[in-house]
Amino acid sequence: MNMPELAIIGGTGLTALDGLEITSQETVQTPYGKPSGPLSYGMLAGREIVFLPRHGTNHSLPPHMINYRANIWALKQTGVPRILAVAAVGGITEGMTPTKLVIPDQLIDYSSGRIATYFEEDLGHVTHVDFSQPYCENMRHMLLRACRMAGIDAADEGVYGVTQGPRLETAAEIQRMERDGCTLVGMTAMPEAVLARELELSYATCAVVANWAAGKGDTTTIDMALIEENVRHGMGQVRRLLKVLITLL
C-alpha cells in the first residue's frame, strides 16, 4: 500500500468507520508503548487512509489513560501527513447546541498529569514548539469547505477546554471555563494536539457536541442516554463530512 493521505483518530461514537474498506491491520509497538488499538489501513471514497480508535476498539480506555504519545508516534511512522481527530464534546456557549459540528481554532488545557511532550530525555538542547495556533489552519479550512459541500452547518471556530476526566465537570467549573473563553469542553484534545505539532503533522479536530455542559441547557443533570443519541446523530454527519473531505485531499 502507498502512504495513506489522511489519518483519522476516532473518538466516542466512532470506534469503527463505516465505508472503510479495510485492506490490512497492524498492531504496532512504539518507543512509548502500545497505541490504543491496531492501525486499520484501507480505502475510503477511493483514497487511502489509516484509522485509529482513540479509546480502543471496545471503547475501554478513559481519557486520562490513553497513551497519546504512542498513538501519534504510530501514525507518524505510517508516513501520513495529516490527522483528523474526531471528538465528542459538551457545549458551553450559545450556538454550541447538541449534535452541532464544530471545527475549533483554539484550546485551553485544564488536564493534569499527562505526559505532553516527546522532548524530555537524552536531549542535546531544550526544544520548544510554537503552539500559538494549536490547529492547522489549512486543515481547518479544508474541513469547513467539506462541511459546506456536504450541506453541514458547522461552527467555524471554537475554544476547546480540555479537562482531565473521566468524570464530567461541575457547573461551577463550566462557569469558570466560560469566563476563561471556552465555548466547548472535552477530555482528549491535549496532549494529542501538541504531540502532533512536535512531530510536524497537520492536525485538526472535528468536534461533535454531544450535550450541554453542566449548568447549561434546560436540565440540572446530564442524561447519558441522550448523550448517546446525540453522538449517534452527530457521527452520522461526521461520516458525510469524511466522504467529501477525502475528495479534497
Per residue of the chain (249 residues), what is the pLDDT tens digit? 567 889 999 865 454 566 667 788 899 999 999 999 999 888 877 888 899 999 888 778 999 999 999 999 999 999 999 999 999 999 999 999 999 999 999 999 999 999 999 988 776 777 889 999 999 999 999 999 999 999 999 999 999 999 999 999 999 999 999 999 999 999 999 999 999 999 999 999 999 999 999 999 777 677 888 888 888 888 889 988 998 999 898
Taking Cα atoms as reference points, which of 217, 188, 190 lies closest to residue 91?
A: 217
What is the per-residue pLDDT for 11?
63
The CA angle 212-214-219, to the nearest 5 degrees, is 70
**pTM for the model:** 0.91
Burial of residue 170 (number of CB atoms within 10 Å: 0-12, 13-18, 19+): exposed
SS3 call for 203? strand
DSSP 25-79: EE---BTTB--SSPEEEEEETTEEEEEEETTTTTT---GGG--HHHHHHHHHHTT
Q: Which helix (H) or strand (E) holds 15?
A: none
The CATH T-level fold of domain 6-248 is Rossmann fold (3.40.50)
Contact of 39 with 1, CB cutoff 8 Å: no
Alpha-carbon dihedral angle through residues 179, 181, 184, 188, given to the nearest 10 degrees:
-100
User: Residue ranges of the domains in the chain?
Assistant: 6-248
